[in-house]
Amino acid sequence: METADPRNSFPGGREGPFLGLVTGVLGLAALVSVASLVDLVDRPDGLPAAFWTMAVLAVGCDARPFVPSGRRQTSAVFPSTCFTFAILLGWGLGPAVLVQALAVTVSGVRLGHAPWRTTFNAAQYACALAAAHLVLRSGPGGLFDGDRLGWTDVLAVGGATVTWFVVNYGLVSTALRLRFGGRWWPAVRQGLPFELLSTGSLLLLAPVLVTAARASAALIPLVLVPLFAVYRMAHLSDEQVQLAALDPLTGLPNRKALLAEVAEQVHRHAERVARGEPGARVALLLIDLDRFKNVNDALGHAVGDRLLVEVGARLAGVVGERDLLARLGGDEFAIVAGGLDGVDEARELAGRVVAALTEPVSLDGLPLDVGGSIGIALFPDHGEDYATLMRHADVAMYDAKHRNDTVAVYAAESDHNSAERLALLADLRRVLENGPVAGPTVRGGDGAALPPRLAPDDGPGDAPRPAVGGGPGSGPGPGLGRGPGSGVRTDPGGGPGVGGTGRWWLPRRRSRPAPAHPDELLNRILTGADPVRRHGPPEHPPAGPAPDTGPAATPPAPAAEVGEITMYYQPQVAIATGEVVGVEALLRWRHPRRGMVDPEELIRVAEQSAVMRLLTYRVIDDVVAQLAKWSAAGTTLRAALNVSVRDLHTGEIVDRIADRLAGHGVRPDRLQLEITEGALMADPRRVLATITRLHQLGVAISLDDFGTGYSSLQHLRRLPLSEVKVDRSFVLGMAGDADDAAIVRSTIELAGALGLRVVAEGVEDERTWRLLHAAGCDAAQGWFYARPMPADELTAWLARYRPLSPVPSPDAEIPRRHAR
């Protein structure tokens, strides 16, 4: 049901000021008009034919005012203004007020105005005419005196015209401000051009009418010819505006019309929301057709256009008479429905849309299946303007697509592009483009080129700083897709509380105190492997969980507003010998205002943008530079890092890695890239080409999070892999869950049969460590050995670390699952 025009009712919560204005205008109009109206009682016979002609035309023309496109009639043009102002100029205030009141009554009935509103409009015009009359009285004389008009008369008429316009428009704007709230001046400025053009033109025509009336009353009706011409031109212009708001293919309203309709519906429902009335919600449904691109590619655009026309006709049969269906372009449609009580009614409408799209569309005897994903946003729950509602409906629609669902309602947790995150993305771009400061390089002990800030004589407390920045020279690149295989790792599944897949964007848990253990061997392991337990807390404690605390070892944020990117490293240890064979690179960003940025939020704001490539290149630059420093200091380590799946698609990463390895004199086998099964499945052919080039370069490839993706075992056979990483989700539970233990054992056996090294993530306790050794796992990483730490702390940890190998014990037997 269509919502009533809110201008016909008093505002909820603002009755006092608005009622005061209405009462004041009515009283003022009565005060300034009563004397002139009383004098008019004795003058009817003395009024000439010209007056009666103008009076009849004023009332008759207002029976059909011109209303531009839209349903609010906020900018209706009333021709009576021309005649009543001319009557004021020729016969005074009383006749003008009376004729204007009659014309307002006729137009009010024609447009369905409430009685109080019609009365207020008549009083508003009376006040404007009275103000103009006062200006005219300051002139030398009347316009019908028979004398020629002088410059003073012209100035008086001009002043009266301006006064009438200012008083009338000012009263209307003030009433709207008190009625609907909001800022006064922006609303006044928005409507001023149209009012100046329409109402101002009518006012300026009044002196011409008076001049014609001085010659003969028969000339007055001739003004209808230009008025009709203006009226017709306005209609033609309005038709052009309406055509501009229609989609030429389907004949449905387009995006421009949708914007106007949403603004209209929000305007109409705002007062219902304020008063808590039912039916105060407006729903915006965004519909995106599924598989439409397949139709275009297979059958051509002509068939695709016919399909859109048929879909538009089906949707038109679903929406209500008061709802608006629009085509936004391509295969996107939108529906605006007002007068709803809540989300259930919006879902019901979406269900009817889904049902309409379920039946195949038959074109030339070929049935085409067309489905759709629908996103819903409600006013005022999810936004109070077109831009917000449209963006939130778009978020909900893509949420439905990602969940393989048909309908989704906007949820804030699904919105990854808030203003705060966009600001964070801008800061991330700035910190990556600024890059670390590079200086003249020096040669390390093995010939590696080192910047001075990374030279071996740096103090142990100096923060590691990569030599080559991922600055503007890195070049923009495509974003990183979410899901398995996405991203440069910042935290492997090594520590307790690193969730799920063990990716670097997952949150970190709080460090746990180390209780004393009765097992002497275990105490030796704990104190020998973890410098925190062996020598007490370090001067700079490792990373904590809270984003606002961060690792104290991270250098203080510089004066710049965007902070600094820092690399952390977690050791990978050979289980059989206890030897540290490598590290995994983790990314940390300390923001001066936000503190330590949550890695999950970091990857969320960087993905699907060119910033992700800058981030990937920055990590490559920093890790290779750190490898050069370790090499110069005589430390032989292999560093592993994750890369963007889109970088694997383009292959540019191979050139980047080759350039950095050659520039720093680092052997390729010191670097290892970790990819996930999701990256393989995204585009196996292109990914295989890039991986092959990396293998030829000498860079090792590790298949990360094995067992959590959707790839088949053929990838283990086809790809030039050197390592398989067992996902921490299996390792964490293998000590108590027979199924997880079976998966880990099978993975180790399979990889061993194929000649691949096996690394287990998420090793947190002694029992898991012993079980992995019994199963034949090659290496492990996790908080059982060490936490992630900056490069300088890792160097100190390596100096104190004493390798230990597990001793066979009865509790090292892997759990077996029972028959079901």
- The answer to whether residue 761 is catalytic is yes
Q: Are 787 and 567 in contact (CB under 8 A)?
A: no
CA–CA distances in Å: residue 605 to residues 397, 421, 480 = 19, 6, 10
Taking the C-alpha atoms of residue 39 and residue 242, their distance in angstroms, rounded to an integer, is 48
Cα–Cα separations (whole angstroms), residue 2 to 268, 324, 517: 10, 12, 75
Give 3-state DSSP helix, strand, coil % of the chain, rounded to 5: 50, 15, 35
Q: Can you tell me the distance from the alpha carbon of 744 to that of 735, in angstroms, rounded to the nearest whole number?
A: 11
DSSP H helices, 468-573, are: 520-529, 531-535
Count other C-beta atoms under 10 Å from residue 465's C-beta.
Answer: 23
Sign for the pseudo-dihedral over CA of 547, 549, 551, 554? positive
Residue 461 C-beta-side C-alpha neighbours within 13 Å: 5
Return d(Cα 534, Cα 641) in angstroms, integer.
29
The secondary structure of 148-181, three-state, reads CCCHHHHHHHHHHHHHHHHHHHHHHHHHHHHHHC
Residue 673 C-alpha from the chain's centroid: 33
- Among the options 584, 601, 723, 761, which is catalytic? 761
How buried is 534 (Cβ within 10 angstroms: 0-12 exposed, 13-18 middle, 19+ buried)? Answer: middle
Round to whole Å and give the CA distance between 291 and 371. 8
Q: Which residues pair with 288 in a beta bridge?
A: 332, 373
| C-alpha span between 385 and 231 (Å, rounded) | 33
3-state secondary structure of 780: strand
Contact 547, 598 (CB under 8 A): yes
Element (H, E) at 209: helix 184-215
Which neighbouring-strand residues pair with 449? 443
DSSP H or E run through 701: strand 700-706
d(CA 475, CA 566): 21
**Contacts by 5-10, CB closer than 8 A, 24 or more apart:** 5/71, 5/72, 5/73, 5/112, 5/268, 6/179, 6/180, 6/267, 6/268, 6/270, 6/271, 7/72, 7/113, 7/117, 7/179, 8/112, 8/113, 8/114, 8/117, 9/114, 9/271
Peptide bond into 810 cis (omega under 30): no
- CA nearest to 626, candidates 614, 640, 615, 613: 640
Rounded distance, CA 675 to CA 636, Å? 23
596: buried, middle or exposed (CB in 10 Å: 19+, 13-18, 0-12)?
A: buried
Q: Is 453 helix (H, G, I), strand (E, B) or coil?
A: helix
Q: Under the phi-then-psi rule, with left for phi > 0, alpha for psi from -120 to 50, and beta for the rest, what region is 801?
A: beta
Do the beta carbons of residue 656 and residue 614 sit within 8 Å?
A: no
Distances (CA, A) of 49 to 55, 87, 224, 427, 481: 10, 12, 17, 76, 81
**In sequence order, what are the residues at sequence separation of 6 or more whose Cβ sits closer than 8 angstroms to the Cβ of residue 343?**
283, 376, 378, 381, 409
C-alpha separations of 322 from 1, 261, 791 in Å: 7, 11, 66
Cα–Cα nearest to 657, from 649, 438, 667: 667
List active site positions.
Answer: 761
